């Protein structure tokens, strides 16, 4: 086990030990401080439980990205407090922007305890590659990773196909037999991107499982895989918006 893998194992252990405090606290904050509500999560939680238990192939969650609370909302939408405490490997690892995490001590502590691996956006490719290696190791160990294929919050408020984060594709391609749980989440009042969703907003979820494949090699293959994931999110967004209009 190399140094990074040891650090991730230590982070997981500490996070798990404090999860009886952190997970209920996060849920309470979302539920009572921000008064967010989730619509019809039972189907998505059942699907997620099945994905976690049906086989041991790696599982990546790929979602659209509109607010800084998306990863917390997705974790909540896919599992309740008890679910994540019992099946701690199902609480997904996140890849927040390093500058954001390092902006305050509180952020740093929260990120550490809530399974975050900060990544420098636009940073040294070797550092980014090292983060991807760590994520790959976690997934091979049965952990779930959540990534946003758009790379950042969509400035248009719609899934941004111009902004493909190739790292998502690289991770999926390198794992070979990776399952991808695509998640589209949006609050009723979420018209565009923002830091936080509106207080009192209600969120709808759409989930779909895909297994992207490519015959292309190298970066071309990674981009092709990331594009397949993004195309799926576009379809899910169109279906969501059509349902909203109906």
Partner 1 sequence: MSEQEVMEKVVEILKPYAKNAAALASVSLETNILSDLKVNSARLVDVVLAFEDSFGIEVEDEDADGVQTVGDAVRLIQSKLA
Catalog residues that contact partner 1 under the rule CB under 8 A.
121-126, 128-129, 151, 163-166, 170, 174, 217-220, 222-223
For the CB of residue 140, give the shortest distance to partner 1 in the complex, in Å. 17
Closest CA to 203 of 71, 48, 103: 71
Nearer to partner 1 among residue 120 and residue 142 (C-beta)? 120
Cα Rg of the chain (Å, integer): 17
Nearer to partner 1 among residue 98 and residue 207 (C-beta)? 98
Nearer to partner 1 among residue 105 and residue 126 (C-beta)? 126
For the CB of residue 151, give the shortest distance to partner 1 in the complex, in Å. 6
For the CB of residue 147, give the shortest distance to partner 1 in the complex, in Å. 14
DSSP letter at 197?
P
For the CB of residue 161, give the shortest distance to partner 1 in the complex, in Å. 12
Nearer to partner 1 among residue 165 and residue 180 (C-beta)? 165
Q: Where are the alpha helices (DSSP H) in the chain?
A: 3-28, 42-54, 70-78, 81-86, 98-101, 105-113, 125-140, 166-175, 218-245
DSSP bridge pairs for 179? 59
Nearer to partner 1 among residue 166 and residue 205 (C-beta)? 166
Nearer to partner 1 among residue 170 and residue 186 (C-beta)? 170
Sheet of 37-38, strand order: 37-38, 202-210, 179-187, 59-63, 144-147
CA 155 to mean position of chain CA atoms: 18
Q: What is the largest CA-CA distance in the chain?
A: 53
CA distances from 68 to 49, 65, 119, 152 (A): 25, 8, 15, 10
For the CB of residue 126, give the shortest distance to partner 1 in the complex, in Å. 5
For the CB of residue 165, give the shortest distance to partner 1 in the complex, in Å. 7
């Amino acid at each position: 086990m190399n140094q990074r893998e040891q650090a991730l194992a230590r982070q997981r252990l500490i996070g798990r030990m404090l999860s009886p405090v952190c997970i209920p606290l996060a849920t309470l904050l979302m539920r009572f401080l921000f008064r967010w509500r989730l619509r019809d999560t039972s189907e998505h939680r059942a699907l997620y439980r099945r994905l976690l238990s049906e086989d041991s192939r790696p599982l990546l969650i790929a979602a659209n990205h509109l607010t800084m609370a998306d990863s917390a909302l997705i974790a909540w939408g896919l599992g309740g407090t008890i679910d994540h405490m019992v099946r701690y490997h199902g609480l997904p690892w996140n890849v927040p922007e390093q500058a954001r995490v390092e902006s305050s001590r509180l952020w740093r502590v929260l990120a550490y305890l809530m399974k975050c691996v900060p990544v420098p956006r636009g940073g040294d490719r070797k550092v980014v590659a090292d983060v991807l290696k760590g994520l790959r190791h976690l997934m091979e160990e049965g952990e779930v990773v959540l990534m946003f294929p758009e790379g950042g919050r969509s400035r248009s408020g719609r899934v941004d196909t111009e902004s493909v984060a190739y790292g998502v594709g690289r991770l999926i391609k390198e794992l070979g037999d990776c399952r991808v749980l695509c998640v589209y989440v949006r609050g009723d009042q979420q018209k565009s991107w923002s830091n936080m969703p509106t207080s009192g907003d209600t969120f709808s979820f759409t989930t779909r499982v895909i297994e992207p494949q490519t015959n292309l090699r190298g970066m071309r293959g990674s981009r092709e895989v990331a594009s397949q994931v993004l195309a799926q999110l576009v379809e899910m967004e169109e279906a969501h918006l059509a349902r909203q209009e109906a």
